[in-house]
Amino acid sequence: MQSRTLGSGLEVSALGFGCMGLNHGYAHKLDEGHSIEVIRRAVELGVTFFDTAQVYGPFTNEEIVGRALAPVRDQVVIATKFGFDFDGTRPSGLNSSPEYIRSTVDASLGRLGVERIDLLYQHRVDPDVPIESVAGTVKELIEEGKVAHFGLSEAGAATIRRAHAVQPVTALQSEYSLWWREPEAAILPTLDELGIGFVPFSPLGKGLLTGTIGTATPFSEDDVRSTLPRYSAESRQASSDLVDLLGSLAEQKQATPAQVALAWLLAQQPWICPIPGTTKVHRLEENVAAATVELTDAERDRLTATSDLIDTAADRYPEKMQKMIDR
C-alpha cells in the first residue's frame, strides 16, 4: 500500500485501521483472539497505522491492540488518546489536567506494552484546561521519549492554532466523509496552512455509505447509532440519493460502494489518512483495496454535488456528547 505523511514526518499507510469497533461502540464485541486475527490481517495487507483510545472498552482495546501488534512493533504506528475521566470503568467527563495526562499516558504505555506512543491525541478538548497547558504537557512527554507525535481530536481551528504554537500538531482526527463534510469549511484550510495531517474517523458514515443500511435497518440498544440523531430513519432517507450514486459508480468500476466512498476521501488531499474499522476480515480486505480505486474528476464532482444536497441539520451526537466538540 502507498504511504502518506502526516504533519512534518509521520509516515503511515494511506489507509489506517480504526480499532474501536472491535470491542466498543457497537452491538458486536469480538473475543480477543478474533480481534487479534483482524488486526494482524491488516498488517499483512500493508496497513501500518492503528488507532485506539483509553476510553475504548474502556481500556481493553489498548490491551488488544498492544498484544496484536507486539510481533511487528517496529513496523507500525500506534495512535491512542487521552482526555476522559472515569468513574471506575465508565467515562464520567473530561479531564486534561497535566497530572492526569501523565498518569493516564503511563497507563496506556503499560496496556499497549510499548515504551513510546507514536501519536498521542487529546480525545476531546477540555474547556477547563487551557490548550496551551495540554500542548505543553505533551511537549514534555515527547522530550522524555514517552510520546513521538502530538494530535488533537474534534478540535476547532482556533484551538488547533493555539496548540500548534506550543507543540507542533502532527494530525487532527475528526469525522469526515461524503456524508459529513463540515471540516471543509474551516478545519481543512487550517490544516493545509499549518502542515498538519488529517485522520478522518467514520469515513464510511458508520456503515451508511456501504449500501447495507436502509431506513428500516434496526439498531440494538447497545449500538451507538441508536442514540445518534443523524441515524434516524428520516436522516437515512435524506442520504438515499448519495447511497444510490455510490452503488451505481461502484457497479461501473467493478468495485463496492465503500471502496468508492473511500476513494473519494483519499482524493481530497494527499495528507488525509482515513481509518475505517471493521470486525470482518473480508470487509477489511475490501476497504484496503479502495486504495487502488481511481475516480475521474467528473465522478468526484458528481459525488460531491450529490453530497451537497444532504440535509445536515440533525446533530451527529446527543446533546451531552455534542457539547464536547470544540468548534
CATH code at position 302? 3.20.20.100
3-state DSSP assignment of residue 81: strand
Q: What is the pLDDT of residue 245?
A: 97
Q: Residue 189: inside a domain, yes or no?
A: yes
| Boundaries of domain holding 129 | 3-322
Is residue 223 a contact partner of residue 254, using CB atoms and an 8 Å limit? no
C-alpha cell read off for 34? 478474533
* pLDDT tens, residue by residue, 77-106: 999 999 999 998 889 999 999 999 999 999
Strand partners, 263: none
pTM of the predicted protein model: 0.96
Q: Residue 173: inside a domain, yes or no?
A: yes
How many whole angstroms separate alpha carbon 199 and alpha carbon 173? 5
The domain tally of the chain equals: 1
Mean pLDDT within 164-193: 98
pLDDT band at 176 (very low <50, low <70, confident <90, very high): very high
DSSP for 253-321 reads TTS-HHHHHHHHHHTT-TTB------S-HHHHHHHHHGGG----HHHHHHHHHHHHTS---S-SS-HHH
Q: Residue 270: inside a domain, yes or no?
A: yes
Q: What is the pLDDT of residue 27?
A: 75
How many whole angstroms separate alpha carbon 271 and alpha carbon 137? 26
Q: Residue 283: inside a domain, yes or no?
A: yes
Across the chain, mean pLDDT equals: 96
- Whether residue 22 has pLDDT greater than 90: yes
* pLDDT tens, residue by residue, 252-299: 999 999 999 999 999 999 999 999 999 999 999 999 999 999 999 999
* pLDDT tens, residue by residue, 24-47: 988 778 999 999 999 999 999 999
Q: Residue 123: inside a domain, yes or no?
A: yes
Name the catalytic one among 26, 56, 176, 231.
Answer: 56
Is residue 317 part of the annotated active site? The answer reads: no
Q: Residue 327: inside a domain, yes or no?
A: no
Strand partners, 51: 18, 79
